[in-house]
Structures are given as C-alpha cells and as structure tokens.
Structure 1
Amino acid sequence: MKTKYILPILIALPIWIVTLLPSCSLDYDPLDTYSDVTEGVDDEGTATVAFKDKAAVTSHRQTLLELFKNGQEHWYLDMLLLAESHADNAYAGSPNSETTPFEVNSIEGSNTNMRRDWNGHMGNIAQANKMIVFVDSVSDPTLTEAERRQFKAEAKILRAMIYFDMVRIWGNVPLVTSVAGDITSETVEEVYPAYFPPQTDALTIYQQIEEDLLEGLQYAPDNDPRNKTQLSKSVAHALLAKVYAEKPLRDYDKVIQYADQLAADGFGLVDEFGDLFGVTLSDPSAPPSQTNKAIDAKARNLKESIYEAQFFPGNASWVTWMFGRPLEDWTFYFTWAKWITPSRDLIRTFTSEPGDKRYEESVVFYECDWSIYYPANHYAFMYKTRSAYNSIIKLRYADILLLKAEALIGKGDLNGAAQIINQTRRRAGLHDLPASAKTSKESITNAYLKERRLELAFEGQRWFDLVRLDKVEEVMNTVFDKDEGRPPMAMPYTSLSYVLPIPQDVIDQNPNLVQNPGY
C-alpha cells in the first residue's frame, strides 16, 4: 500500500517526521477524515477537498475575519513590544528574558516572542492561502461566483496585511502562496520545498503584497461604516498607502492617491481624539474606579477607524490587563508589573507643548506595588487599551493622513505637509506649527516625526517610522543618555538593526533559512 500522509499546513515540518516518511509503520490514509487542510473526499471518493460545501467556506471566511481579534498576542501585544519598547516610546515594563532584549537592543534568535510571532503569522498566511487556493474548486452550486471572488479578494488583502508586518519585522521571509500537497513516499521530493521554503528577498515580498492588494481591490466589499471588522476595499487602500511609503516600492504620488481615496471613501478625523479610546462608565460624571467600572467602549466603527477588532461585554479581550488596570475590573491581575510602560522621553515630548489632549488619552498614572521605572505611588501606564471592551484599531485614518504629509515632504511641498500636520495638532488642542518648522526639509521632517509619535503613540508605529525614514541610529543611540529610566543599551543600533532575527527554532527545522546579518 502506498504510504500517504495528510499533514496540517505547516511552514517548518519537524525533521523527525521527515526521517519517518519511508516507514510503513506510518501507513496512514485519512482520506475519509478531516484535517487542517482537507474536509474529506469528493462525491466519488477519489480526491480530497478543502471545503465540502458553502457552509464550510463561510465558516472559514469567518475564521479569517477574526484572526486579528483572536491573535491578540502576535498581532498586537508583541507588535507593541517591538514598535514601542524597542523604540523610544516605552520601556519593556515587565523585565524578563522575553521583553528586556527589546528594550536594550539585545534580541537574539532564541527569543520566544520572535518564535511565537513568526509561527503565528505563518499560520495565518496558511489559513488565508486555504481560501485563495481552494474556494474556486468548491462544488456546492449555492456558492455563487460573486461570493467566491469576494472571499478570495478578502483573503488576499489579509495575506498582504500579514506579509506587510512580516517583511518589516524580518526582511527576507518565505513567500508562500500555495498549499503544500500530501507527502507520500512517491511525492516527498516534489512536496519537500513547500514544507521547507527558502526566504524570498524583501522587494519580491513587497511586490506580492502590492499584487494581492490590487487584485483584492477588484472584488472586496466596499467600506461598511457600520462594521469596520471587514476586509474591505478601504483596508486595501490604506495598506497600499503604507506600502508605497516604504523604501522598496516608494512612490509618493501613490501614497497621496490612496490617502485621498480613503477620504473619498468617507474616512476622516473624528472631532474628539478621546472618542477613539474612551469607555462608558457606570457613572459618567465620576472618574473610573473599582466601584465606577467601564460598562462598554465609548464608540465603535468611528469614521477614523479603517480596520479594527471589536470586543463587547460577554465577548471581551484579554490583552488589556497586560498594560495596566482594566477599567471593567479595576483590580483584575493588577498584582504584577505590566508591559509597555511609557518612557520619560515620550512623556517629556507630550508635555513639551502645554495642552496636548492626547497625553491624558495615552498615559495614565496609578499607584501600584512595584517601582521598576517610576515611584510606586505615581507609576505610568499605557492607556489606549484601557478596557476589555475597547476596539483595537489596526488601521486608522490619522496614520494614513500623516503619511500623505510624509509624501508631500518627499515631493518638496513643505507647506502642504504642514497643513496636514496642523489638522491633527488642532484636534489635540495645539497651535499650528511655527513658521520655523517649514523653513527646511529637515525641520518639517522633525516636526512630522514628533507629530506621528504623539498622535500614534502605543499603536505599533514608532519603530517602523524610524526605520522607514532612516532615523534609527540617530534617535535610538542617543535616547539612552537622555532618558534616565532606561536601562543601559546592550548594543548600539546600526543598519543591521532594521530587521530582527529569524527565530532559531525555525532555522533549526528548515535548513533553507538563513539568519539575518548581525544576529
């Protein structure tokens, strides 16, 4: 009998499985069972099928739509550790072998955060690929052609979003756009590369992201102002603006084009910055406390939110208690040091101009039982994710609007860039930029970076801003001397710091992967 294996969609198949492939003791032919890849056989019993009917497809689509919501660890928590604590916005918060290396620049391939993030993202890509590859072959006639096109478009936008994060974190990563076939003794040589893919250069990854987004635009649904959890055309517009701002495909005209398209889609700045992150308290006239708890988020689906994960009473997030007091339960897990502690350097930047409303929406002070970075009676905490009912916004219009300002700076339109920066400053309660900020490209770039830092603090943007604009060495090699709360730097930041190490466990399992230089 032919030796046959149907395996889950994995990127690195453990070596011990490969060594057992020829063995008849693993004679396993699960064509009549379900797996991560297949849902049984076709009507003739001759071929495996990924989706047995429309219900299976729509169920998998819902899984894709909830990946961000259900992946709070690698999509959000670890992204903040990288983008905020590895930059100058935050300290690690809870010093340990996982977090401290991000704070002091000593990240290695053995870091467990890197491993879970890599595996989480690659697993999510596999889930997107399942829809892209198999939806057209579903034989159920009730699954319309329009639905097939839409579901595939959504999956391509999702895959692009995941790869956009991966390529910015690791640079050269495996490009996987298919689903690995069954491994048998006869097909192992053919299938092997799919389970052990080599890295692809960053430019090619960006080109695949661009292709996925442009193809996804054709059939993805329009933005629904009532539901910002969808993988809509507007999500693709936002991602394209961000992609074209990055060095490999930099095209400032296209950044402006897609930023303007979002405005045409109906997006804009909300009047009150606090509406994006606020909560509804049982007594709105009193401050939050254990007796005056959050009963819901203040708002969802605001016109500024492009893509968000939503949580509700009875279906809440868990990640909020990693950052501070969850306002729906004041004391819940508030017995140990929290992650992503706001840095003194960030706080000084917030208070450098009096009256910035964003400060009190981003940073809060509580009394606690530890004094790692601040006195225990006045300890700083990240405040943007303040209850388990708040949405986590992945894509926000203010981010894209400010990227338009970056594009205008790149094109030499300093006044146009200043006008955009002034929009977010005015909402924050600040005056327009002084004339001196517009006298040179350097001065407007500094004002721009400061504005993005304050507007988007604790939203996973700061590190990538520094990398994109080649500011890592200038900013990070000096912040340790001026921020007395930051522990000593382990290694100076260089151009090799712009990407992080490939997880060593993944390299050990996949001999076709090569560690990034400098690690």
Structure 2
Amino acid sequence: MKHISILRLLAGGLIFTTASCSLDYDPVDMYSDVTEGVQKEEDKGVVFKDKAAVEAHLQTLYDQMRDRQEHWYQDMFLIGDTHSDNAYAGTRSGAPQYFESNTIPSTIAPLQRGWNRFMEDIARANKLICNIDAVTDASLTVQERESYKAQAKIFRAMIYFDMVRNWGRIPIVITEAGDITSETIEEVYPAYFPAQNTEEEVYRQIEKDLLEAISAAPDNNPEDKTRFSKSVARTLLAKVYAEEPLRDYTKVIKYCDEVAADGFRLADKFNDLFGVKMQDETLPPGPANPAIEAKYRNTVESILEAQYFPGSGTWLPNILGRFLDDWDKQFTYAKWITPSRDLLAAFEEAGDKERLNETVVYYQTNWDNHYPREHYPFMYKIRSSYSTVIKYRYADVLLLKAEALLLGNGSVGDAVDIINQIRHRAGLADLPSSVTSSREAAFEALMKERRLELALEGQRWYDLVRWGKVEEVMNSLPDRDEGRAKLGNLFNRNYYKLPISQSVLDQNPNLKQNPGY
C-alpha cells in the first residue's frame, strides 16, 4: 500500500506531494501525524496499548494549556486587549501594531500560529476521544474511561470556543483521519482538508461536548484548579449561551448558579489573585528584593488556571511586563501590551485605586513609545515567572450572570447586587440610585465594571463584540485617546472576526477567507 508521503497522487485535479503535505513531518504549521492522528502501518489498530498510555496522552492535553503559552495566552491577550480600547501595541513594529490600528494582514504569525496550534490541540483531544474505548487494559475502569474522555471533550470545547470567537466559520473535526492512499483518497480527503462549518454549527458542537462531559468530568478540587472539571464545563456553557448564535439568558443564569453551587466565591482580596511573594515582604520589589513564589494558587475564585513554579516558570513577562524574580531580565525593549490612557482614565473616573494598582504598574524604561520613559505603565497581572495564569475565574461568571439578568429581562435589583458585590471587593461604594433606577443605566454600569475587573486579562474585545459595541467604542477611540494609533480601517461587523492566515488558506483549498480581508 502506497502512502501520500511517498507517492504523488493526482485526484480531482489536486497533486499531493511531500512538499505540500508530508504526513510524516510534524511542524506546527501543517497537518501531520500529530495534527490528525495518523498511525504507522505496523501500529495500525493499536493507539493506546494500556491505561498508562491513555493517562500519558491525557497529560499532554494539560501540558498544551500550560506550556504552549503563545496561542493559549500571549495571542489572546493581544486580541482581547490591544485590539480593544484597553491597550496600545507597546512596540512600533511587528504584529501588535496591526491589532491596534485594525489593519490585520492575513500573513502575520499570530494568525498562523493560533489556527494551526489549536487544530493540533484538537487532534490530540480527538485521539483520546476516538480511541479510548478500544483500550483492552482491564485496569482502566469504566469510570476512568468516561472521566478521561470527558476531560478531552472539555479541552476540545475550550479550543473551539476560542477559535469560533476569533474566526467565526471554522472546520469541525471530531474524528481521526485514516491513511491517504490511492484507494482511499476520496474517502479521507475531507478529513485532511475540511471545509468550514457555520458559527452555529461550531457552537452546537461545543455545547454537545460540554453537556456530554459534565456527568463524568472530575468534580471541582479546591486544592487543584488546573483540571478540566465539571465547573470548567459549566463556566464554558454559561459563556457559550451568552454568545449570539445560541443566546439563551435563562441557561446563562442556570450555569452561573451551578458554578456558584460548586463552591466558588470571590477571593477576599483582589491582590490574592495576582500577587507574588517577595523575598522581603516589608520592602517593595526591586533588584535586591526579588519575587520567590506566587502569593496564592488555587484560590476559591479560580476555576481553571495554569500554574508555573520555580525551575519551570512562565516567560510571559518577557512579552507583557517585568520579571519581578529577575528584575532586569529581558527588560531592554518595549512590550506587546501597554495600558492605554483610555483605560487609565476609566480607573481614575471610578476612583478604583485597588484594582488599578493590581492591573498596572509604572517603571522607568529606555523607550518612550507611548509615555515618558521616567514613568511608563505596564500590564501587572502576570508579574513573575511564578505567576499563575487564570483562564476562568468566578468574578467573570458573576458579572456574566448580571449581564444575563439585565439583557434577559431578569431582576435589575439582583443584577445590581452582583455588581455591588464586585465593587465592594475593590473597596468601592454601592452604585448610586441614579444608576440603578433603570435597566439601561444598570447595564452601562455593568459594562464599566467588567472592563475594570477583567482589564488586561484578554476579555475586553470579546465583550465588545458580544454586546454589539465595537463600532460605538472603537471608531471614536482615537479622538478621545491621544496615544491611540490612527485606525487604518473603521470597524464594522466584518472586523468582528480575524482574517484566516494566508498560509492556512494556501494549505487547504476548501477554506474561504472571512469577509473584509
């Protein structure tokens, strides 16, 4: 039997060569044995030989979320904050500037990296989901089998949720592709070069994965918030039902309440979420007083997080700010995300010093791209190699419930109570009666509260899109923010989605570029 990696196939006018799609090469920017789970002939029919092999593969899913920081975190912060009114592109060159000015070309690295690596992650999930039931190891119990499968489905749903919000129409791949041979080319071709599904179809697949996963997924473990638990599935369902294709505010409230019933609440102090332990807690951070560990992990507010420890830390401060554990490490160049004047003004207008001080920090720099170098602001929520990166947290869920109450004709008073609960933790007073007297005014207050509470956590752009506020907020931004780059394109609904990478389009002729690009 001849395989595509050693044979040129001419079928339907398309020539396959090792240069165009080698199935035994594994770069991150191509479909491959890893991305589609193709097996070698001698291993055909045996994917996981025993329970240990299954558990090792499940661990690779967790490793992706922790270790592949470019597309899981760095690029999502870039899209969520620099593409919104929260931040400037800190650098004057490279990919970030295109997100600030809304001139995103289809050739930049974050687009290619995000699409291909997420598809690679999906293939890893599919490998477990599609093959675990064939494992004959008697030590793998039915309960474990279903739990592992549920965790992989939650992982897959997380990826599809991020992808559909970024690109809209994307392929749904939930099976593994077989070998491409001269006999099977017509049958397996679509698995290697899938067409796009509609946004609603993608959301329905996310919903299906999560609903199927809830019963067998692990319970929330207060001592380990790194697992794909029932609470993660419920959080995602609440977020999914808030989005336009499946919008159902009754279900948003239902799943927000179920997350609360799982034992989550706000951490006592905002600093508990992002703080680090210093060598000498009585002194400010500095070269002689480095960070030595995260202040807390697994807080009562954290639903899912990626944890980094001494010896295997995160490099995200390299891109976002400063390493408090190594003061001058990689601090000779501008960072990707610089807090905007508009965001700083929003904190000042609210009198919100506590959250501001945990979100933004000032240092002296060697550059003055946006501010005087003597007093330059930086993103502060990931501040050392040991920082925990929180993917989902309960404050987001609480505010999402308030949003559902206000937009779904629920109780304005209940929504205001939630907003005030968030404000109290930040040391702010209750909203005034002038704000809480109408549903419209309360929703305006909610939008402001989400911005300040979740600032520089990669959420703002997606909030604006969900609310239909992109044009209103973003097209007027350069006029009210003197530091903002001029918009190359005014925002309209076409720009709610990102362009698909040109290299991805070149690779898969069944994909079509998003409108407007």
Shorter-chain TM-score category?
Answer: over 0.9
Residue in structure 2 matched with residue 10 of structure 1 by the alignment: none
Which runs of 5 or more residues in structure 2 are unaligned? Answer: 7-12, 25-31
How far is the alpha carbon of 1:139 from its aligned partner? Answer: 2.1
Aligned pair partner of 2:429 in 424, 428, 431: 431
Residue in structure 1 matched with residue 181 of structure 2 by the alignment: 184
Aligned pair partner of 1:261 in 258, 282, 297: 258
Mapped pair 1:213 → 2:210:
yes
Residue in structure 1 matched with residue 116 of structure 2 by the alignment: 119
Mapped pair 1:353 → 2:358:
no
Q: Which letter does structure 2 place at the counterpart of 1:451? A: E
2:350 partner SS: coil
How far is the alpha carbon of 1:117 from its aligned partner? Answer: 0.6
How many Å separate the matches in 1 of 2:33 and 2:45?
11
How many residues are paired up?
499
How far is the alpha carbon of 1:507 from its aligned partner? Answer: 0.7
Q: Which letter does structure 2 place at the counterpart of 1:333? A: Q
How far is the alpha carbon of 1:429 from its aligned partner? Answer: 0.7
How far is the alpha carbon of 1:445 from its aligned partner? Answer: 1.6
How far is the alpha carbon of 1:415 from its aligned partner? Answer: 1.7
How many Å separate the matches in 2 of 1:20 and 1:271?
57
Aligned pair partner of 2:130 in 130, 133, 149: 133
Mapped pair 1:232 → 2:229:
yes
Q: Is the 8 A contact 1:105 1:489 kept in 2?
A: yes
Distance 1:270 1:173, change over 3 A: same
Q: Which letter does structure 2 place at the counterpart of 1:320? A: P
How many Å separate the matches in 2 of 1:20 and 1:109?
25
Cα deviation code 1:104-162 (max 9, x no counterpart): 00012112211111111111111111110011111222222211111100000110010
How many Å separate the matches in 2 of 1:478 and 1:472?
10
Residue in structure 1 matched with residue 515 of structure 2 by the alignment: 517
How far is the alpha carbon of 1:46 from its aligned partner? Answer: 8.1
Aligned pair partner of 2:465 in 463, 467, 488: 467
How many Å separate the matches in 1 of 2:119 and 2:144?
25
For residues 242-281 of structure 1, the aligned pairs below 5 Å read 242-281=239-278
Aligned pair partner of 2:486 in 475, 488, 496: 488
Q: Is the 8 A contact 1:38 1:49 kept in 2?
A: no
How many Å separate the matches in 1 of 2:213 and 2:356?
37
Q: Which letter does structure 2 place at the counterpart of 1:3? A: K
Q: Is the 8 A contact 1:367 1:379 kept in 2?
A: yes
Aligned pair partner of 2:449 in 435, 443, 451: 451
How far is the alpha carbon of 1:468 from its aligned partner? Answer: 0.2
Distance 1:38 1:113, change over 3 A: closer
Q: Is the 8 A contact 1:40 1:50 kept in 2?
A: no
How many Å separate the matches in 2 of 1:141 and 1:345?
60
Residue in structure 1 matched with residue 54 of structure 2 by the alignment: 57
How far is the alpha carbon of 1:47 from its aligned partner? Answer: 3.5
How far is the alpha carbon of 1:353 from its aligned partner? Answer: 2.5
How far is the alpha carbon of 1:360 from its aligned partner? Answer: 0.2
Distance 1:20 1:91, change over 3 A: closer
How far is the alpha carbon of 1:20 from its aligned partner? Answer: 6.0
Residue in structure 2 matched with residue 416 of structure 1 by the alignment: 414
How many Å separate the matches in 1 of 2:23 and 2:268?
64
Q: Which letter does structure 2 place at the counterpart of 1:363? A: V
Q: Is the 8 A contact 2:4 2:16 kept in 1?
A: no
Distance 1:319 1:20, change over 3 A: closer
2:392 partner SS: strand
How far is the alpha carbon of 1:99 from its aligned partner? Answer: 1.1
Q: Is the 8 A contact 1:324 1:386 kept in 2?
A: yes
1:175 partner SS: coil
Q: Is the 8 A contact 1:312 1:389 kept in 2?
A: yes
Q: Is the 8 A contact 1:38 1:48 kept in 2?
A: no
Residue in structure 1 matched with residue 370 of structure 2 by the alignment: 373
Residue in structure 1 matched with residue 2 of structure 2 by the alignment: 3
How many Å separate the matches in 2 of 1:367 and 1:303?
35
How many Å separate the matches in 1 of 2:495 and 2:43?
51
How far is the alpha carbon of 1:66 from its aligned partner? Answer: 2.0
If the length of structure 2 is used for normalisation, what is the TM-score? 0.93
1:419 partner SS: helix
How many Å separate the matches in 1 of 2:352 and 2:142?
54
Q: Is the 8 A contact 2:38 2:177 kept in 1?
A: no
Aligned pair partner of 1:362 in 359, 363, 367: 359
Aligned pair partner of 1:316 in 308, 313, 316: 313
